Structure 1
């Protein structure tokens, strides 16, 4: 089969066959007969006659560019990159896309053979890898030996194994130390890849060895989420450091109830009991708080030897809360009805939730002279809660001084006689003077109780500081300090009672002054 091409001419009378709008080509045999074009699937594309000069295009979409020209005949050249046959640079060629399917040739209706023929089929007996070029794969003389095929199959199997290993390693857990370091450095990490219990425990132990609190807390929470509760509790109890960090985390979250429950099951009964007690104190209703503290004492403190001392105090607190509720109910009713002792004054505060000393002060202030059988009696309160006499005297003195009940104060401070012996007061008068000064007691009351101070130097210093001149003069007289009296004359107002007293002492020759 030959391709006759008539070259385009620059003359106006010649038709331009290379116009893309009117492509023309004549396919014919050497003897001028029609040619049939067969595509690569074996289907006939059509007949090309020399009269219509149409351009034949294969079903694969390959573009075949031809020219028709008079007097020039050249063979069709189908070019492959790896073709052994050299291509004429001047001749047009048809380029077929490489593919692994069988190739076809252009069959001629004439019995004679074409000028250039293409093999009917080029096949590969086995698949080829990427190392084998596509051009070499379509060569007709490409043959693979049994050894080469075996190598190819072995290489494919190796690649499959590497792919499967890569897929498995994608979800494989990294080294524990690497994960801990990433956690410490603040980098992204994942704990979900650690599935087995030994891996999780190794993760926690490694975090404890690194002494990183944030990592320990994060891993403990991961174990809490992924383990059964009994396993989590058992393993965590073996690691006290992890329990400490877990407790701090729950405390920072403000979940006191969960913290108390977790500490209880983790074997830290003392801490759990204290957190339960703190939880009970959060109640704001007096009756509810009383019941909560009482229940907490019975369940978490009572019968536990290590908490025996705390149990005693909690029992006393429950008794005090009960007594406060009883006194408050009576006083609230008396205050509403304007009955004594609230006929001319209003209560400053309610009695709920007050400490024992403050409760005693309240009773001394409003119920100082009631009988001891009364619930609000200070003496009954002191007796019930085993308070010391010093606590009672100090608290009662403050209550009497603040209300300016000087008679009650004097009764309280008067020494009692027992078998004709005078009993010394349990509180020094220097403390009483301090109470009177804070209560802004009158000058004569300060003078009276300052003279009862036993420490002479402290009495003189206190009297000079608060300008109680009578006490200063009397103290200097007792010390027989003539020079001190003479120097103190400038501090005393001229013509006052203290000035007259001072002049009388200086003129008294019977006193033996210290030189």
Structure 2
């Protein structure tokens, strides 16, 4: 064994040598490095480099980083502090609510699960609401749904209507109607929950009348016939079920999406002369589906006037009194009726009959002027004994026209005691 082998096998050398087979330095080894690196009584620079040409190294102090890596330096400082390096964990800076909200609004990835406390989660929701970012609000709400009891989340949402509306819209768009119904029911809004279920059922089952009828019947029994539900809504669902049953009976698939009023218009057009006992008779439809007299009159007027059947319109809306005078009989308010008749280009005679039905002379005169019913204007001014107004009105008429001659003859009537 030569001198070199003797050197490495001596007990003193073994004690000082590092074990390069280990991946992790022991605390003693780390401290030893620190003592050698920082000991003021260590070997001199001259002895350190006694076998190296001094011209190859600057005589100034050598940077510590060139001898020891930053990782080792961290371990040295940790060891000198007395802590066990194997038990130390490097923690990231705590992610605050403000940091999370900033990343959410900027569209950056972030983990909401670092916020575990109820206080932190509530601050997240209120912070998103204060910012006014809908996407952030919905993201936080969905996080709360995942990590909290639903009842607790619903209580939070009930006092934050903006967040609640975002969540309701989300459930609607995703078609999660059961969850939406549970939410609204827990918030004491059962009628709304029932209506959302009704809308969803019609939307998803509209192509199958049998399935739609079955589901709506169950919905009516289980949700709309409960205490507190709006009776108008319950009646609406009941009427719709009746309409579906009637549509199924008449078996006209091309018209299955029609409303009751659209069906009435169809029946008036194609089945006007059928008797009340017939399923397609307009009168039967009215009785079965509680169509009001006003609705009936309006549909009949528009259907027959547009098709030019004015004889039907006049037979329905004009009557003869005991003196043989023609009067109007309609459930439509007179001014609304006049306006619609004018739009449909009714005859002047029919318009005049309607205007004459107006009891108040001032209103009658105003409407007669509006629709240019000259005979009614002349007759009304004569009844008011207003010679001056009638004279002025005559000047607006075409000379030698029938209305002009009527106005002139009225002014010459000596039986009228004119007031001016």
Larger Rg: 1
Unpaired runs of at least 5, structure 2 = 18-27, 45-75
Report whether the alignment pairs 1:312 with 2:230. no
Matches within 5 A, 1:418-437: 425-437=330-342
The partner residue of 2:379 within 450, 474, 485 is: 474
Match of 2:314 in 1: 410
The corresponding residue for 1:357 is 261
| SS class of match (1:435) | helix
Is the 1:415–1:425 contact (alpha carbons within 8 Å) kept by the matching residues of 2? no
Q: How far does residue 286 in structure 1 lie from its aligned partner after superposition?
A: 6.2
For the 8 Å contact 1:293–1:318, the answer to whether it is kept is yes
Report the alpha carbon displacement of residue 351 of structure 1 after superposing the two structures with TM: 3.9
Tell me how far apart the structure 2 counterparts of residues 499 and 156 of structure 1 sit (CA, whole Å).
120
CA distance in 2, matches of 1:480, 1:181: 81
RMSD: 4.2
* Counterpart mapping for 1:108-119 below 5 A: none
- Flag the 1:188–1:301 CA change in 2: closer, same or farther, 3 A: same
**Pairing 1:400–2:304 present:** yes
Equivalent residue for 1:275?
196
What pairs with 1:437-452 in structure 2 (closer than 5 Å)? 437-452=342-357
Residues 1:175 and 1:413: Cα distance change in structure 2 (over 3 Å): same
Q: Is there any run of 5+ residues in structure 1 with no aligned partner, and where? A: 1-36, 44-100, 105-119, 140-152, 333-349
Shift of 1:510: 1.6
Residue 315 of structure 1 and its aligned partner are, at CA, apart by: 0.7
Report deviation, 1:439: 0.9
Count of residues in Structure 1 that have an aligned counterpart in Structure 2: 361
User: Which is worse superposed, 389-398 or 299-308?
Assistant: 299-308
Find the counterpart in structure 2 of residue 507 from structure 1. 412
Following TM superposition, by how much is the alpha carbon of 1:280 offset from its aligned partner in structure 2, in angstroms? 2.0
Whole-angstrom distance in 2 between the partners of 1:137 and 1:498: 132
Residue 175 (structure 2) aligns with? 257
Superposed, 1:131-280 pairs within 5 Å as: 131-133=35-37, 156=79, 158=81, 160-161=83-84, 164-167=87-90, 169-170=91-92, 174=94, 177=97, 182=102, 186=106, 189-193=110-114, 199=116, 201-210=118-127, 211-212=129-130, 217-225=138-146, 232-241=149-158, 245=163, 248-249=166-167, 251-252=169-170, 255-258=173-176, 260-266=177-183, 267-268=186-187, 269-280=190-201
Q: CA deviation at 1:316?
A: 0.7
CA-to-partner distance for each residue in 1:167-196, whole Å, 9 max, x for gaps? 3x34x9x366455554576476323446xx
Q: In structure 2, how many angstroms separate the alpha carbons of the residues matched to 1:121 and 1:257?
A: 78
Q: Partner of 1:66 in structure 2?
A: none
**What TM-score, normalized to structure 2?**
0.69
Query: In structure 1, what is the Cα distance between the partners aligned to 2:15 and 2:198?
Result: 89
Cα separation, partners in 2 of 1:448 and 1:506, compared to 1, 3 Å: same
Counterpart Cα distance in 1 of 2:137 and 2:261: 45
CA distance in 1, matches of 2:329, 2:105: 71
Return the alpha-carbon distance in structure 1 between the equivalents of residues 371 and 328 of structure 2. 30
Could you say which structure has the greater relative contact order, defined with CA pairs below 8 angstroms and 6 or more residues apart?
Answer: 1
